[in-house]
């Protein structure tokens, strides 16, 4: 029996989302959400029947076609046309785990009762989510400003029996899946297509996916950095709380504290040192990792606001008897946060690669390239090349997307966020970071062996022991690709 999460106006946190996804919860609407959706829908139907005035996107054309009035007989066709004409996505397909989040976040946003959709429309999106029916969505096509129009059109086409979906790893035309479950295509009512297509759920889903990974990788960076520090015979003094109290950035304080705890009980860290200072990639871990932690915290705050918000247009307020056309679909807050997050994560990778480089350099009693017979064996030499290549790509991907804007829709939509491009770049950056940290772990675990019989801390010894079950010590050259892949798997599953 799977758990059920009831969609309501209750604040959706990252922890809740992680739980819903990882523990495979099914979704249902709370009674309160059903009432809000129904009340708003009925209000809108009544309003369009009673009033003759133009209401943007409900009885008018879209974008710069806002001045074209649509006759009541054509209102449903208008919404279906909107859905089809906007399905202009191209490029690579959006990964299933991101599509799943798009569905969840779209359902959440429509549940507040300001969008004017039919109850059955939201319930069908819930059916897709619960039955693992994932619409085929493409990565390219959104300007991130009138919402994520093209991706959301692809996400919602299957509601009307168009477009493709994945079901049980097969790619099918959506009409076949509707037939399979005995679902009738939804007949879209006034404003519904617009409610489905306007919104920031493409950007928000990518951001949420990355933030869940970023939390873990930020911890992993501290843990692996501490292991590298001990393997490098580094000093603990730069982590003394006194230093950080006089420059009390939250992330910096937290990182220094993490490293002290991770190295608690290490024989290596307390032994006498020949050198008075360590390179920055070790000595400045609190300052660099800490700055990234603070950037992640900023992005979290932006995304938590967004995923608990209504981001379509126009917005309907039954209580106040108002229908207001505004710009809640504009992705600017997300675009800036996505760009900042990419920079913060790329920096964690950048400093990690430098620690790997120090470990293979034959310094402080470690053998060159971390093998017993360098020369005959190249050891870990090329693993650093790989890390350097990935880090360089991440730097290139950190060119901000949010500083660009190309006008669209006959200059009606004259400033856009380009947050969707920021989102897909960020997805690549977070996976790059995972790979770079896995390479550092591989090098640090190898280097720590050359410090025996002295031991690192009990906590890090446990980590290395668990890692060794997956990736054995390298005594002579072997194909390291497999070790890197196993290291990435280990990094994504080991309880940090």
Instruction: Please give the helix or strand (H or E) that residue 309 lies within, else none.
Output: none
Question: What is the rounded CA–CA span in Å between residue 125 and residue 330?
Answer: 23
Tokens of 489: 């798997």
Which of 458, 466, 472 lies closest to 230, judged by CA?
Answer: 458
Q: What share of the chain is helix, strand, coil (3-state, %, to 5)?
A: 60, 10, 35
pLDDT value of position 18: 96
- pTM score, two decimals? 0.95
Residues 237 and 244: their CA atoms lie apart, in Å, by 11
Task: Report whether the peptide linkage leading into residue 276 is cis, meaning its omega lies within 30 degrees of zero.
Answer: no
Domains of the chain: 4-199 (1.10.275.10), 206-493 (1.20.200.10)
Look at residue 1 in the predicted model and tell me its pLDDT: 57
Q: Are the beta carbons of 142 and 181 closer than 8 angstroms?
A: no
pLDDT score, position 69? 77
What is the CA angle 485-356-460, rounded to 5? 75
Q: What residues have CB less than 8 Å from 467, skipping those under 6 apart? A: 441, 445, 487, 490, 494
Assess contact for 413 and 407: CB atoms under 8 A: yes
Q: What is the pLDDT along the chain (496 residues), one digit of tens a residue?
A: 579 999 998 999 999 999 999 999 999 999 999 999 999 999 998 888 877 777 776 777 766 676 777 777 777 888 889 899 999 999 999 999 999 999 999 999 999 999 999 999 999 999 999 999 999 999 999 999 988 999 999 999 999 999 999 999 999 999 999 999 999 999 998 889 989 999 999 999 999 999 999 999 999 999 999 999 999 999 999 999 999 999 999 999 999 999 999 999 999 999 999 999 999 999 999 999 999 999 999 999 999 999 999 999 999 999 999 999 999 999 999 999 999 999 999 999 999 999 999 999 999 999 998 988 878 888 899 999 999 999 999 999 999 999 999 988 877 888 999 999 999 999 999 999 999 999 999 999 999 999 999 999 999 999 999 999 999 999 998 999 999 999 999 999 999 8
Whole-angstrom Cα distance, residue 391 to residue 394?
5
* Helix and strand element counts for the chain (H, E): 19, 9
Identify whether the C-beta of residue 233 lies closer than 8 Å to the C-beta of residue 364. Answer: yes
β-bridge pairing 90-93 and 138-140: antiparallel
Closest listed residue to residue 251, CA positions, set 297, 216, 220? 297
Instruction: Calculate the alpha carbon distances from 438 to 262, 443, 485, 491, 493 in Å.
Output: 18, 9, 8, 6, 12
* Six token digits for residue 199: 């919104």
**What do you get for the CA distance between the two ends of the chain, in Å?**
29
Active site residues: 56
Cβ neighbours of 142 (radius 10 Å): 29
Residue 415 CB partners (closer than 8 Å, separation 6+):
145, 405, 407
Cα 158 to Cα 172, 178, 180, 182, 245: the distances in Å are: 11, 8, 13, 14, 56
Helices in 51-88 by DSSP H: which ranges?
75-85
List beta partners, residue 374: 377
DSSP state of 239: G
Distance, CA of 484 to CA of 438 (rounded, Å): 7
The values of phi and psi at residue 160, to 5°, are -105, 15
Q: Are strands 133-135 and 164-167 parallel, antiparallel or unpaired?
A: antiparallel
Q: Which of 185, 103, 180 is nearest to 136 (CA)?
A: 103
CB-CB contact of 351 with 288 (8 Å): yes
Please give the C-alpha separations between residue 122 and each of 109, 115, 183, 184, 496, in angstroms, as whole numbers: 10, 11, 14, 14, 38
Interacting residues of 462 by C-beta distance below 8 A, sequence separation 6+: none
Strand-pairing partners, residue 172, are: 165
SS3 457: coil
CB contact at 8 A, 137 and 102: yes
Distance CA 400, CA 422 (A): 7
């Amino acid at each position: 029996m799977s758990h059920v999460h009831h969609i309501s106006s209750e604040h959706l946190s990252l922890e809740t989302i992680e739980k819903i996804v990882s523990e495979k919860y099914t979704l249902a609407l709370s009674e309160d959400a059903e009432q809000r959706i129904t009340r708003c829908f009925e209000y809108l139907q009544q309003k369009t029947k009673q009033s003759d005035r133009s209401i943007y996107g409900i009885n008018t054309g879209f974008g710069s076609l806002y001045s074209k009035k649509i006759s009541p007989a054509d209102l449903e066709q208008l919404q279906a046309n909107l859905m089809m004409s906007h399905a202009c996505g191209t490029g690579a397909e959006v990964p299933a785990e991101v599509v799943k989040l798009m569905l969840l976040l779209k359902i959440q946003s429509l549940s507040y009762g300001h969008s004017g959709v039919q109850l059955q429309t939201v319930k069908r999106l819930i059916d897709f989510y619960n039955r693992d029916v994932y619409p085929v969505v493409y990565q390219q096509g959104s300007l991130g400003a009138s919402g994520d129009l093209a991706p959301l059109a692809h996400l919602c086409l299957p509601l009307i029996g168009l477009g493709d979906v994945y079901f049980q790893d097969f790619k099918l035309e959506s009409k076949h899946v509707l037939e399979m479950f005995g679902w009738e295509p939804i007949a879209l009512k006034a404003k519904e297509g617009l409610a489905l297509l306007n919104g920031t759920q493409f950007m928000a889903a990518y951001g949420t996916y990355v933030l869940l990974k970023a939390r873990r990788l930020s911890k992993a960076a501290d843990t692996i950095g501490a292991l590298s520090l001990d393997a490098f015979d580094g000093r603990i003094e730069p982590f003394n709380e006194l230093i950080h109290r006089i420059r009390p950035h939250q992330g910096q304080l937290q990182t220094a504290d993490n490293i002290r705890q991770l190295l608690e009980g290490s024989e290596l860290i307390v032994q006498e040192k020949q050198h008075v200072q360590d390179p920055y990639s070790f000595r400045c871990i609190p300052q660099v990792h800490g700055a990234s932690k603070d950037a992640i915290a900023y992005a979290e705050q932006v995304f938590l606001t967004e995923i608990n918000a209504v981001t379509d247009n126009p917005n309907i307020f039954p209580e106040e008897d108002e229908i207001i056309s505004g710009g809640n679909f504009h992705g600017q807050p997300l675009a800036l946060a996505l760009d900042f997050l990419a920079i913060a994560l790329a920096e964690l990778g950048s400093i990690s690669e430098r620690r790997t480089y120090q470990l293979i350099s034959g310094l402080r009693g470690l053998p060159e390239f971390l093998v017993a017979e360098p020369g005959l064996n190249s050891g870990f030499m090329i693993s650093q090349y790989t890390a350097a290549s990935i880090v360089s790509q991440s730097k290139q991907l950190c060119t901000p997307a949010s500083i660009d804007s190309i006008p669209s829709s006959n200059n009606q939509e004259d400033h856009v966020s380009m947050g969707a491009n920021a989102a897909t770049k960020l997805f690549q950056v977070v996976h790059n970071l995972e790979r770079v940290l896995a390479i550092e772990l591989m090098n640090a675990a190898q280097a720590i062996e050359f410090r025996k019989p002295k031991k690192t801390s009990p906590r890090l010894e446990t980590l290395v022991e668990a890692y060794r079950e997956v990736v054995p010590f390298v005594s002579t050259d072997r194909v390291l690709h497999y070790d890197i892949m196993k290291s990435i798997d280990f990094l994504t599953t080991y309880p940090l």
